[in-house]
Amino acid sequence: NVFSILVFVISFVFGLYPGSEEGWQVYSTASDPDGRCVCTVVAPARNLCKRDPRSRQLRLLTEQVQNVSQSMEVVDLRTSRDLQYVRDSEPLVRGVDGRLHTYVANPRSLTAKGLQELKGQMSQLRPLLSVVEQYRLDLQTLATLRLELLNLSIILTAIQEEIGAYDYEELQQRVLLLETRLHSCMNKLGCGRLTSVSSPITVRASGSRFGSWMTDAMIPSSDSRVWSMDGYYKGRRVLEYRTMGDFTKGQNFVQHLLPHPWAGTGHVVYNGSLYYNKHQSNILVQYHFRSRSVLLQRSLSGAGYNNTFPYSWGGSSDIDLMADEMGLWAVYTSIPNAGNIMVSRLDPRSLDVLQSWDTGFPKRSAGEAFMICGTLYVTNSHLAGAKVHFAYHTNTSTYEYTDIPFHNQALYTWNNGHQVIYNVTLFHVIRSDG
C-alpha cells in the first residue's frame, strides 16, 4: 500500500471534450494577475457558424432579400409620387375630354381661341406620357422581383427543411452572449476549497513501486508533454513523452540524464524546468529541459533530508516540490520547528524563499500532502481508508480539520507501479459585486 505523489494539478475536463478542429475551444487552468485560479472551460469557437457553408449561403440570400426590398421601396416611392401627379391631372383630362366631345358633335363651335386653349391643355398633359411609360417599366421590374422572390422562397424552404427553423445570426449572437457571461463568471471565480476526490482512473501500469509522473503546470494547453521518473532513490533518468497518449502506450519519448541524482518523489515540472531535491542533501535543483542543463542549485535552509522527516511511508520524502495556481512551493520540515510541516513559497527564477508558514501538523503523521490554490491538504495515512484530514490556508495563515475520503492517492499519483489520475471537486464562492 505504499505509494508516492508527483505534482498536484487540477484537471477538470481532461480528455473529455473535442478539440478546436471540431469547433470547440478548450481553456486551460491558469491564474490571473491577482493570483486567482481560472478553471478549464469548454465553449464554442467564435467563428463556428461563420465556417458553415450554409451560413454563407444564408448570408447571400439575406443580401438578395435586402436588394429586393430596396428595389421595391424605390418602386413604391415612385408609384406614390406619380399617382399623386395623375390625380392632380384628372380634372384637366376631363376638361380636354369634354371639349373634344363638343367639337366632334359641333365642329363649327371650334374657334381659333378655343383651339389655342385646347393646345395649351394638351401641352400640360404631355408629361403623363412619360409617367405611363414609367408605369410600364415598373410592371416589368415588379415581374422580375416577383420571380426572384419566388426563387428565394424555394431556396429558403429547402434550407429550412435541411437544418431546421434556426436563425444562424440569432444563434451566433446567443453564443457570443453566453461566452461573454462565461468570461465574466470566470473573472469572479476565486480559488475553491476541496470537497471531494474521485475514485482513481488508471492511466498506465509500468515501472517499480515508487516514482513520479507529471505535466507542466505552466505550459499552454497545446503542449501535452508528460514526464516520468521511476524510483525514489538516486535516480537520474527522466523520460519525456510527446503526449498523454504516448505516455499511456509507452512510446515516442526522449531521455534526459540528470547531472545530479534525485531523492524522494516530490518533483515538479514548472515552466519548462524540472525542480527536484538532490540526493542526500537539502539542495533544490532546477534542470532546464530545452537546454539540458542545470540552471540553479540552492540549499533549502534547515530542511531535513535523507529520511530525517519523511511522510509515514518513508521513501526519502523529506522535501516535496509542488506547483499550483499560486506558484511554486516547497513542503518540508526541520529540527527547529519540531518536525511540523513547513510550507514555503519559492521564486522559480532564484529558488529564494518568498514566505514560509509553520502548519503545526507533524509530518511523520501524514501519509501525503498536496497544494491547491495556496491551500495545503494533508492525508492522515498512506494506507487503505485514508482521508484528507487537515487543510492549511496560506492566504489567511489558518488551518482546519477536514473529513474527505481519499483512496490512497491524490490527483496525479504513482501507486505501486500504477500511474493514476483523479478528478477533484472544489467549492467556489462567487463574488456578487457588480
Cα angle 57, 59, 65; round to 5: 105
Nearest to 331 by CA among 402, 416, 268: 268
CA 423 from centroid of its chain's CA atoms: 19
Are 217 and 324 a contacting pair, CB within 8 Å? yes
pLDDT over 80 (residue 357):
yes
pLDDT value for 185: 63
Residue 120 pLDDT > 70, yes or no? Answer: yes
CB contact at 8 A, 404 and 370:
no
pLDDT band for 278, please (50, 70, 90 cuts). Answer: very high
Asked whether the beta carbons of 375 and 391 are under 8 A apart, the reply is yes
Where does the pLDDT of residue 250 fall: very low under 50, low under 70, confident under 90, or very high at 90 and above? confident
CB 390 within 8 A of CB 396: no
Question: At 62, which helix (H) or strand (E)?
Answer: helix 53-105
The values of phi and psi at residue 226, to 5°, are -130, 140
Q: What percent of the chain has pLDDT over 90?
A: 26
Closest CA to 351 of 278, 250, 426, 256: 278
Question: How many Cα atoms within 13 Å fall on the side-chain side of residue 227?
Answer: 27
Across 169-178, average pLDDT: 72
Give me the pLDDT at residue 409, please. Answer: 44
In whole angstroms, give the CA distance from residue 196 to residue 177. 32
Band (27; pLDDT cuts 50, 70, 90):
very low
Predicted confidence band of residue 298 (pLDDT cuts 50, 70, 90)? very high
Question: Could you tell me the pTM of the whole model?
Answer: 0.56
Of the candidate ranges 5-14, 242-251, 389-398, the one whose mean pLDDT is the lowest: 5-14
Q: Quickly list H helices, 167-324.
A: 168-188, 244-249
pLDDT at 252 over 70: yes
**Once rounded to an integer, what is the mean pLDDT over residues 363-391?**
86
What's residue 247's pLDDT? 85
Average pLDDT over residues 387-392: 90
Q: For position 268, what pLDDT does the model report?
A: 93
Output the pLDDT for position 79: 73
The whole-number pLDDT of residue 165 equals 52
Distance CA 284, CA 278 (A): 6
**394 CB neighbour count, 10 Å cutoff:** 20
> What are the pLDDT digits (tens) for 327-347?
999 999 998 888 999 999 999
pLDDT tens, position by position, 403-429: 888 765 443 444 444 445 555 655 554
How many whole angstroms separate alpha carbon 421 and alpha carbon 409?
Answer: 9
Strands (E), 245-303: 253-263, 268-270, 273-277, 283-288, 293-299
Query: Residue 325: its pLDDT value, please?
Result: 81
323 burial level (CB within 10 Å; 0-12, 13-18, 19+): buried
Residue 371: its H or E element: strand 369-372
CB atoms within 10 A of CB 54: 12
Distance CA 316, CA 312 (A): 10
| Mean of pLDDT values over 288-296 | 95
CATH 2.120.10 assigned to domain 194-427? The reply is yes
Query: Hey, which residues does 415 pair with through a beta bridge?
Result: 418
pLDDT of res. 189? 55
Task: Indicate the DSSP class of residue 191.
Answer: -
Task: Please report the pLDDT score of residue 427 as a whole number.
Answer: 55
Summarize pLDDT for 31-81 with one digit per residue, the tens. Answer: 555 555 555 444 444 454 455 566 666 677 777 777 777 777 777 777 777
Q: Indicate the pLDDT class of residue 293, thresholds 50, 70 and 90.
A: very high
What nine digits make up the cell of 139?
410592371
Measured from the Cβ of residue 343, the count of other Cβ atoms closer than 10 Å reads 22
| Cα separation, 269 vs 285, whole angstroms | 12
Distance (Å, whole) CA 107 – CA 96:
15
Q: In this predicted structure, what is the pLDDT of residue 12?
A: 31
Report the mean per-residue pLDDT for the chain: 75
